Chains A and B, each alone.
Chain A
Amino acid sequence: MRAPIYLDNATTTPLDPHVLEAMKPYFFEWYGSPTHEYGHAFGLKAREALEESREVVARSIGAGPEEVIFTSGGTESNNLAIKGIALANRDKQHLITSKIEHTSVLNVAKSLERTGVRVSYLNVDREGFVDLEQLRDEVDEKTLLVSIQHANQEVGTVQDVSEIGKICEEKGVLFHVDAVQSFTKVPVDVEKMNIDLLSISAHKIHGPKGIGALYVGGGVKLKPLIEGGYHEFGLRSGTENIPGAVGFAKGIEIVDDSHLEHMRRLRDHLTEDLLEIPDSRLNGPKGDKRLCNNINITFRFVEGESVLLHLDMRGIIVTTGSACFSKTLEPSHVILALGLKHEDAHGSIRFSLSKYNTLEEMDYTIKNVREVVEQLRSISPVRR
């Protein structure tokens, strides 16, 4: 078995070698800064590459190229979308989001709260689906923006973005979608789904780290957070990351439906066998409404960091929602928002897959998780 068995792809993925090949010329040959049409010819090659990449990104989400802004990644895209809208619309001071968003949305919301913006954090049900009735009730004339993720980073719940988009359109409020986890895994069409802003990132899809994009629909006004030389339609200044943009586009182009089917098969196999371990439960939904590469299981009576470390020593890389593992020593806000208990979060392990994982790796993982959980339960004071 080739170690490590990397099952933390929701955090980040390895670069696909084809992506690196596509990027290389823009480090060594065409390293110029993209010039506008009256600049030197050397920079025009970079400009072409940038705009072609932009078109690829735009096409993948049903947008026009003039609606796509390259950023440094998902976190920046979320910051730019929410803060940018808040700064441009100081008369409307109400934001709606959900309790299970990524920290790059939740911490932006908290920061806006300190400046006087009112924030509604929508509840989710046991499987992580946003309460749409509550959404309808919360929207009022002061509402600036609804920011809801497409798929959840921990439990893989895929929201009904079309329905949320419909509600937002009816109510006349802007709609931002953090699609970082779902991008290229769940289809998205900004036109059909009434999405005004959408965040995506390259390194979750075997592209390079340090590049992402924000879709900004025509007519949506936002203020830039990074000002300077008016790059990216004046919304995100700084010399463009050409190799990054090229790598991002390549990453999108090489996605194949067979990868999704492959991950789904591995997901279902791993889920089924791990749930045979006594006192284990699946967190999040089953089937099509779950991200094809996400498994999140709570093993009761054991603590996640210990499981993680034992698995790490056996060459298996996973994450946990345990408090011990978090920077703030608080258990996963997502697991708690599902209405589960602290100990359900402490015992939760997330396995996130990529196209590179194999069936053999799943079987090795199943065997080792079983052993580790048994070993830790044998010294656990609970369940006795």
Chain B
Amino acid sequence: MRKLSFYERVYSPKLLELFRNPKNAGEMPDADVKVTEGSLACGDMITIFLKIDKDRMRIEDIKFLSYGCAANIATTSMMTELVKGKTLEQAKKLTFKQITEALGGLPPVKMHCAVLSIDGLRSAIRKYEEERGLVEVPELDESFIRSRLRHIMNPKTGRDVVSAGIVDQIKVHNGKVEINLKMSEDDEFKNYIIEAIHERLDRLPNIRELEINLQSQAGDEH
């Protein structure tokens, strides 16, 4: 066996260990809630299963399935490790940065994997709460859209596209959402980011139409 692969320079030992032997991977037939985030088309998809201790609102058990790269498998596995035994309120506060830190770092281009695992976790918790009438479905407005877009990372920098200033104007009217992006037509990640926005918003039931416009910023660095 070879000593040092390319990946050992890119990925931390902890990440590679979880990739090789993922913890909490597998199905949970008696789960209280099951959600799938991401998509086959994007090449990034996870399913999260939760078993909830109803009295203490605590995550009794958590399992995951993954269709994705090494970082996808490892970040999701790490997420499950970090929230197992925690209350739902504690679990909701987990951030992708904490996952990244626990893994000993993640390359910017893979930051979206950690975000996906957080999304999966939060969707699972939300679904559990909605199904039990514990929360209301949020209203569709600009700040809601912005909050969803904060989950999309610019692969170049590992920063989210809202903070990085890529998302400019957002208009919401009668279920139609218009998003203006500030990025160069030549940007190598242009298609990826547009796809990611569709992926994140298209399935929301209260969005009727989504339009993404590009304001060409030739030579602009994000």
Q: Does B131 contact A (CB under 8 A)?
A: no
Q: In the assembled complex, which residues on chain A have CB atoms less than 8 Å from the CB atom of B19?
A: 306, 309
Instruction: Decide: B22 and A379 in contact? CB cutoff 8 A.
Output: yes
Instruction: Decide: A313 and B192 in contact? CB cutoff 8 A.
Output: no
Closest A residue to B73 using CB positions: A306
* Known contacts A306-B73, A323-B43, A342-B43; A380 and B189 CB within 8 A of each other: no
Q: Is the interface of B mostly helix, strand, loop or mixed?
A: mixed
Closest A residue to B68 using CB positions: A303
* Known contacts A3-B1, A322-B69, A330-B192; A379 and B43 CB within 8 A of each other: no
**Which single member of B1, B47, B69, B188 contacts A324 (CB below 8 Å)?**
B69
User: With contacts defined as CB atoms under 8 Å apart, how many contacts are there between chain A and chain B in the complex?
Assistant: 90
Contact with B along A320-362 (1 / 0, CB 8 A): 0011110111110000000001110010000000000000000
Q: Does A169 contact B (CB under 8 A)?
A: no
Instruction: Decide: A313 and B1 in contact? CB cutoff 8 A.
Output: yes
**Which single member of A301, A309, A323, A381 contacts B42 (CB below 8 Å)?**
A323
**Which single member of B47, B188, B189 contacts A381 (CB below 8 Å)?**
B47
Q: Does A210 contact B (CB under 8 A)?
A: no
Q: Does A238 contact B (CB under 8 A)?
A: no
Interface size class of B (residues with CB under 8 A): 35 or more
* Known contacts A302-B67, A324-B69, A381-B47; A329 and B41 CB within 8 A of each other: no
Instruction: Decide: A380 and B70 in contact? CB cutoff 8 A.
Output: no
Instruction: Decide: A331 and B189 in contact? CB cutoff 8 A.
Output: no
Q: Does A315 contact B (CB under 8 A)?
A: yes
Segment with Cβ contacts to A, from B2-10, B137-145, B163-171:
B2-10
**Which single member of A309, A327, A328, A381 contacts B67 (CB below 8 Å)?**
A381
**Which single member of A305, A329, A341, A380 contacts B65 (CB below 8 Å)?**
A380
Instruction: Decide: A330 and B22 in contact? CB cutoff 8 A.
Output: no
Instruction: Decide: A324 and B43 in contact? CB cutoff 8 A.
Output: yes
Instruction: Decide: B70 and A309 in contact? CB cutoff 8 A.
Output: yes
Q: Does A314 contact B (CB under 8 A)?
A: yes
The distance in angstroms between the C-alpha atoms of A62 and B68, with both chains bound, is 47
Q: Does A4 contact B (CB under 8 A)?
A: yes
The distance in angstroms between the C-alpha atoms of A378 and B65, with both chains bound, is 9
**Which single member of A312, A346, A384 contacts B43 (CB below 8 Å)?**
A346
The distance in angstroms between the C-alpha atoms of A381 and B116, with both chains bound, is 15
Report A's interface with B, CB cutoff 8 A.
3-4, 301-303, 305-306, 309, 312-315, 322-325, 327-331, 341-343, 346, 378-382, 384
Q: Give the 4 A-B CB pairs with smallest separation, nearest first.
A: A381-B65, A381-B47, A305-B69, A346-B43
| A to B CB contacts below 8 Å, 13 in the list | A4-B2, A305-B69, A306-B19, A309-B70, A313-B7, A313-B20, A314-B1, A322-B43, A324-B43, A342-B41, A343-B43, A380-B65, A384-B27
17 more A-B residue pairs beyond the given contacts A322-B69, A329-B192, with a C-beta to C-beta distance below 8 A: A303-B44, A306-B68, A306-B72, A306-B73, A309-B7, A313-B1, A313-B5, A314-B1, A324-B43, A328-B188, A328-B189, A328-B191, A329-B155, A342-B43, A343-B40, A346-B43, A379-B26
